[in-house]
């Protein structure tokens, strides 16, 4: 019988393994604590959603819908389904479906995997992870500012540096319509210089041309009509309130009139936090206001604003900046010289865990070969990063004792503890956390 073919992960969908997974858990714990301080509550939506949700919500002529979605037909009932390429549409669907705004606005946050069929590159993969915050049911610019301040506070919590904030306003639909007409007319005058992608978008979604990465088009884009020049008094005032709140909180910003974001659902404030340290993929967090999306997917009209960050990009940037994330290590490594000591040893370890001590137990290296030499066990104890080794030697056990050896302070200090009163000494084994 031939050996089965070794199976590997799908390209661009990566395993997250220890010890690297500890960096993810650290980031997630920072986010959870911060969201609690801002009174945002966790929401968890399905990974698979009806395809029309994204077609209708994100826009038919966006790159995501046209090129990047993992869509399929459910073989059991013929439903058209899609692995979520982003989370906002799903959050909005859930809010509308469950009438969550009946008693007022809601502040929500999420974490989870998203899926886009893109060319894998640094910090950008086919399965990638987002953390996002959404404030739904609030029309005021103060919520736009609150969400920006929330992201800014997160950078400080993480120790992230050299991240700058870019702002713009996309105004309201009638203002965008007037700008769209002017933009199409302008681009038609330069149609011969446009690349294939820009020509394709010229009449379907000309705003996206402003976001082109083609160097040959930059001069044309720079001279194009600016949406901000078409904004009415109310839209401009909304943006000014956001700026004023950011200024009052010492948050630096710059207006980028070419900032349009990748989804069609935005209006008024849009923003991105960008860096120059990740190559061409400079945005690590982006969002804005989307007052018409809830109605667009069939819910009762309500205003909303939010952002999402790319977990891989944030972690990559932290690595680039040399940030040291605390390793996850046990307090204690249990050295067990003989199999006969296992019942007492494991009962002791379970008692320590009840008292909050993190314990790693040594495991037999191979079936029928005992627990391994003391030398090999101490080698593993040292590699674990544990602060102490607990040695369950036969001489100590006869006396109802366990030997504790210090591994991290350079002293190698050895003390004995009674097995029948571990509550009195358990706390001495713990790292300061």
pLDDT digits (tens, 9 = 90+) for 171-193: 998 998 898 888 888 888 878 77
Q: Is residue 260 part of a domain?
A: yes
Last residue of a domain, one of 279, 300, 320: 320
How far, in Å, CA of 131 to CA of 80, rounded?
Answer: 26
pTM for the complete prediction? 0.88
Three-state DSSP at 118 gives coil
Number of domains in the chain: 3
- The per-residue b/e assignment along 380-394, b for 16 or more CB within 10 angstroms, e otherwise, is bbeebbbbbbbbbbe
CA 143 from centroid of its chain's CA atoms:
21
Q: At what angle do helices 233-248 and 141-158 cross, to 10 degrees?
A: 30
Task: Let me know whether 164 and 179 are in one domain.
Answer: no
Order of all β-strands in the sheet with 283-289: 41-42, 106-115, 127-136, 304-310, 283-289, 267-274, 164-169, 254-255
Task: Let me know whether 300 and 399 are in one domain.
Answer: no
Task: Let me know whether 276 and 184 are in one domain.
Answer: no
Task: Let me know whether 82 and 154 are in one domain.
Answer: yes
- 120 C-beta neighbours (distance < 10 Å), count: 14
| pLDDT for residue 188 | 84
Look-up of token digits 């194009």: 224
Task: Let me know whether 215 and 163 are in one domain.
Answer: no
| pLDDT for residue 347 | 95
Task: Let me know whether 312 and 371 are in one domain.
Answer: no
Angle at 166 between CA 188 and CA 278, to 5 degrees: 95
Task: Let me know whether 135 and 239 are in one domain.
Answer: yes
How far, in Å, CA of 345 to CA of 342, rounded?
Answer: 5
Task: Let me know whether 276 and 347 are in one domain.
Answer: no
Regions of the chain where pLDDT drops below 70? 60-62, 120, 122-123, 262-264, 280-281, 368, 432-433
| pLDDT for residue 61 | 60
- Give residue-wise pLDDT tens across range 318-370: 999 988 888 889 999 999 999 999 999 999 999 999 999 999 999 888 776 78
Task: Let me know whether 236 and 368 are in one domain.
Answer: no
Q: Is residue 108 part of a domain?
A: yes
Domain that holds residue 299: 20-171+231-320
Look-up of token digits 């070419």: 258
Task: Let me know whether 162 and 277 are in one domain.
Answer: yes
Three-state DSSP at 351 gives helix
Q: Report the share of the chain in percent with pLDDT over 90.
A: 64
Last residue of a domain, one of 184, 199, 229: 229
Task: Let me know whether 240 and 212 are in one domain.
Answer: no
Identify the DSSP state of 64: I
| pLDDT for residue 208 | 77
Last residue of a domain, one of 229, 246, 266: 229
Task: Let me know whether 121 and 261 are in one domain.
Answer: yes
């Amino acid at each position: 019988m031939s050996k089965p073919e070794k199976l590997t992960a799908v390209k661009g969908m990566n395993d997250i393994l220890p010890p690297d997974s500890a960096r993810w858990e650290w980031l997630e714990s920072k986010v959870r604590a911060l969201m609690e301080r801002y009174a945002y509550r966790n929401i968890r939506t399905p990974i698979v959603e009806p395809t029309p949700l994204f077609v209708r919500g994100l826009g038919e002529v966006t790159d995501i819908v046209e090129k990047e979605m993992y869509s399929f037909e459910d073989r059991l009932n013929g439903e058209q389904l899609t692995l979520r390429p982003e989370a906002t549409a799903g959050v909005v669907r859930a809010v509308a479906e469950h009438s969550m705004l009946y008693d007022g606005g809601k502040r929500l946050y999420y974490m989870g995997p998203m899926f886009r069929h893109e060319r894998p590159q640094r910090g950008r993969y086919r399965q990638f992870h987002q953390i996002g915050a959404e404030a739904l049911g609030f029309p005021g610019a103060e919520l736009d500012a609150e969400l920006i301040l929330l992201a800014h506070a997160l950078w400080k919590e993480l120790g992230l540096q050299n991240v700058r904030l870019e702002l713009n306003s996309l105004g309201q639909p009638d203002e965008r319509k007037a700008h769209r007409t002017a933009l199409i007319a302008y681009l038609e005058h330069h149609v011969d210089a446009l690349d294939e992608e820009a020509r394709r978008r010229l009449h379907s979604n000309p705003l996206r041309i402003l976001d082109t990465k083609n160097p040959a088009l930059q001069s044309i884009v720079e001279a194009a009509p600016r949406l901000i020049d078409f904004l009415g008094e109310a839209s401009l005032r909304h943006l000014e309130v956001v700026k004023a709140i950011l200024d009052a909180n010492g948050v630096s910003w710059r207006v980028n009139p070419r900032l349009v974001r990748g989804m069609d659902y935005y209006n008024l404030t849009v923003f991105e936090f960008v860096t120059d340290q990740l190559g061409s993929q400079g945005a690590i967090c982006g969002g804005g206001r989307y007052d018409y999306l809830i109605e667009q997917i069939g819910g009762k009209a309500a205003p909303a604003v939010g952002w999402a960050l790319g977990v891989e990009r944030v972690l990559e940037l932290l690595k680039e900046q040399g940030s040291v994330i605390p390793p996850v290590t046990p307090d204690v490594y249990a050295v067990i010289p003989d199999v006969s000591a296992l019942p007492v040893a494991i009962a002791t370890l379970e008692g320590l865990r009840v008292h909050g001590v993190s314990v790693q137990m040594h495991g037999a290296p191979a079936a029928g070969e005992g627990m391994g030499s003391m030398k090999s066990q101490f080698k593993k104890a040292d590699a674990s990063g544990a602060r102490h080794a607990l040695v369950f030697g036969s001489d100590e056990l006869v006396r109802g004792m366990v030997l504790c050896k210090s591994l991290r302070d350079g002293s190698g200090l050895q003390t004995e503890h009674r097995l029948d009163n571990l509550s009195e000494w358990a706390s001495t084994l713990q790292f300061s956390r």
